[in-house]
Structure 1
């Protein structure tokens, strides 16, 4: 029985050395330049990186990974695992707009993880060499481009003594409600979560055979848990062939994702809800005519609220290309549980539910059922008692996928990972997410710390953001922040900050009025303030989630990049 993904990589390299493990679309297009790596080559490159690390006595220490999208990251990550080195995936600084945020995060991660080495692409490593003045944290840290580690170094590789409790990597949380924390993920956690993903997504031996091992297409960032644990590592777990391309190429042209799915005909591909919205924004009759999406069985949708309206519109738009409603696969997970906690049932449409039992666009979307061996309960966060079915509370999780805790943060580990519940054995992970269970199906309703209480009523910011975004086409999907402010007189008051297309500045007053009307109609709330801002300026986490606290702080200190004058109510 495999003790780690390192064992499985060795097995695949031995039994199917010539099979392509990953192909990378350099331009994001199936008809552009393509890089491929076989299982034999992947094992060689990973062992070369591992041996380089072992020769420097780095086993057990932390290695920061700063690669641009591509195959080198995979070799570097598996190289760390193969050396018994703890991998720390990070976002490489790139482009002026990204630089400050990426540098700040990189500094935090290097310091918190106490990284001893940085592995990266050549350009990143060269850039770091010019940053020592701004990055005193780099002093004493060895930096190397993984491409420059020679193949013949692999001959010196020694198989590490790994157990289920050995730490595989630190997955730093995206920090949507707090400073990033390093989740300590063990080799046992990884194997268990790959088992859950495989079982819930229907990656059976029969399906693998039917698809000729071509199961996954992904543009998701590999430094984030959804893109790493899902597409990248499920590939090594099962011996698949997976097609990858850059998130930037997807954002530049969302049709690239659909064209890659149409070309390679995978079983599984997905992303956050906003990705499907972006595809809808760029859909044309000509594009739909060009596509064949009939092989797509698991269109997973997670990492942010899943919208019933998005599922309906995407299905209607792409049905002529063979996309089926029952391919949609809402799921729920978090870094603290490695990634996947619940997922839909393959071949069955998503479960929708609203207050009247109707399946309208405002319906709550079920995020599926827990994987085998995963326990999900909904608890009262104050009284710490399990709540009856249908009652909303905090989502608590138990199982072998739940990580060890937070890196060098005993207090946060105790608060989040050590919860106990009357009537249940063992300890639970407190997710900080709110939801309820109905018929074994999990419905996620929001974040505990983002909940807005206005005039004694609970409001989830996600609901206000959705109502706002649907009020005018110039509002960018997944780029709206709702939060409350206290003016000292009337108590908590709702504020909406929304990114709009630059050419919509002339319509600022009209858009503001439509947002107010939409939220008033849907939620009976008068909005205190609506602020329209430049595209790309609302604070987001590394995984693309809205940082509502940071948005609120920027609103209060007047640092938002406003389009048109804010309209006060």
Structure 2
């Protein structure tokens, strides 16, 4: 296939991988990398109207490109040239290797706080980050990675798919929907194949606890796992502790946990706890419990800077996480010109290019602790409230009664208040006493965050999400103000005024 892409003149041009997760996608990705084409993974096929709209926005930003696939109206509408893989002339052909600094992948960011944009990852970026992952995970050719993570997302693409191949190990892939529909499938596959590396965001571990019975857990053997990573969103202590307790009968080893921090602008991994270190809990001065995400790999640098002035802060002070190293992306895609433009978050200091991540965190004895996105910080009566803190308290208190929470600012006249948008599972929607649950949630959040929240309940799946499953807080806030969220009866606004 690489020869076919090269012969078709696609080297150096964006090639949209309009293929569902699976072997065909994996082959197409590797073919693009070898041919020097710029692979553009997309969430395909798009599920739902919102996903289709976001895909259209991605492809509109991309500009002139080729779609590798059998055709889809959503792709045809933006004027992409379409190529059927079966029609390529794939006869062997001598091909030059792409230059290390040449674009390899246009990774569209998850868009949790902004419109998705194309982050351009070079071949050198990929190789550098693979070495970093190997260092932190202590992985090698005996690695068996088993994951369901979507390959259009950086954790699924560079972690679940490319990392075991980089090592000469084994990658076993499961369609994301197969996991969502029945989480037990993932755990059964880990047990059967004796997988050594697997991972998920918080919601994946929570889903396993909710949907796998104790009797089913007792039939599993998860003892082969040496690295069980968790990332893509702030790592919740309760999610990892509940999973470890629920699957203790499965011989799951909590020391295999590797909480991570990463972002598309740094290819994937930016920090991780070393293999075998397990979970390190940090309790802040305000009593909030956080999970440390370890340290930066040795080939990279990390520091905390003041969000306003950019001054480097000492250990223990909260500020913006800044990164430097060979894994930092070479730029963003400028579709109108078909070129790579500099990332506006980059700044130069003494010859070193630093990336401002937009994330708030602190460096301490156990490494990096993530607090929140700068744009998601909520200020109520002069007090800073981290959305992730309020969400974690609500989820811990509610347990299985909630499947997601978005903490956002609620503007009332000239006042800003804390609003919790709580998503109720379908199985609980008709049986819950929502007024009682609102009170149960509001009091601990008020005690932990210093502001009494307003609590609103929404239907399962109502909160806007990125293509990787992260809650889009600002989109949820806008939808609430526009009264377009599917709310449930029992919204108890009195707690905001009690």
TM superposition score category, shorter chain reference: over 0.9
Residues 60-79 of structure 1: pairs in structure 2 closer than 5 A: 60-79=12-31
Residues 312-327 of structure 1: pairs in structure 2 closer than 5 A: 312-327=241-256
Q: What is the rounded CA distance, in whole Å, between the counterparts of 1:230 and 1:560 in structure 2?
A: 34
The residue number in structure 1 matching 2:320 is 394
Structure 2: gaps spanning 5 or more residues = none
Query: Normalising by structure 1, what TM-score?
Result: 0.82
CA contact (8 A) 1:435 1:446 kept: yes
* Aligned partner (choices 34, 53, 60) of residue 111 of structure 1: 60
CA 1:483–1:116: 2 relative to 1, 3 Å: same
Aligned length: 489
Residues 118-517 of structure 1: pairs in structure 2 closer than 5 A: 118-120=67-69, 122=70, 125=71, 128=72, 130=73, 136-138=77-79, 141-146=80-85, 148-149=86-87, 153-204=89-140, 208=141, 213-355=142-284, 362-408=288-334, 413-417=342-346, 419-421=347-349, 425-439=351-365, 441-477=367-403, 479-489=404-414, 491-502=415-426, 503-506=428-431, 507-517=433-443
Q: What is the rounded CA distance, in whole Å, between the counterparts of 1:428 and 1:114 in structure 2?
A: 28
Q: Once superposed, what is the RMSD of the aligned Cα atoms?
A: 2.1
1:285 Cα offset (Å) = 2.2
The alignment status of 1:544 with 2:469, answered yes or no, reads yes
Q: What is the rounded CA distance, in whole Å, between the counterparts of 1:537 and 1:284 in structure 2?
A: 26
The alignment status of 1:526 with 2:452, answered yes or no, reads yes
1:242 Cα offset (Å) = 1.3
Residues 63-102 of structure 1: pairs in structure 2 closer than 5 A: 63-94=15-46, 98-102=47-51
Structure 1: gaps spanning 5 or more residues = 1-47
The residue number in structure 1 matching 2:6 is 54
CA contact (8 A) 1:475 1:498 kept: no
CA contact (8 A) 2:35 2:97 kept: no
CA contact (8 A) 1:370 1:376 kept: yes
CA 1:282–1:170: 2 relative to 1, 3 Å: same
Between 1:549-558 and 1:55-64, the stretch displaced more is 55-64
1:157 Cα offset (Å) = 3.0
Deviation digits for residues 118-141 of structure 1 (CA, Å, limit 9, x no counterpart): 113x4xx2xx1x558xx5312xx3
Q: What is the rounded CA distance, in whole Å, between the counterparts of 2:318 and 2:74 in structure 1?
A: 49
1:517 Cα offset (Å) = 2.1
Q: What is the rounded CA distance, in whole Å, between the counterparts of 1:314 and 1:108 in structure 2?
A: 37
1:357 Cα offset (Å) = 11
Q: What is the rounded CA distance, in whole Å, between the counterparts of 2:483 and 2:124 in structure 1?
A: 47
CA contact (8 A) 1:63 1:115 kept: no
Structure with greater helix share of residues: 1
Deviation digits for residues 83-131 of structure 1 (CA, Å, limit 9, x no counterpart): 211111111234xxx23223222222222222421113x4xx2xx1x55
SS at match of 2:45: coil
CA contact (8 A) 2:143 2:164 kept: no
Q: What is the rounded CA distance, in whole Å, between the counterparts of 1:131 and 1:462 in structure 2?
A: 35
CA contact (8 A) 2:143 2:197 kept: no
Query: Normalising by structure 2, what TM-score?
Result: 0.93
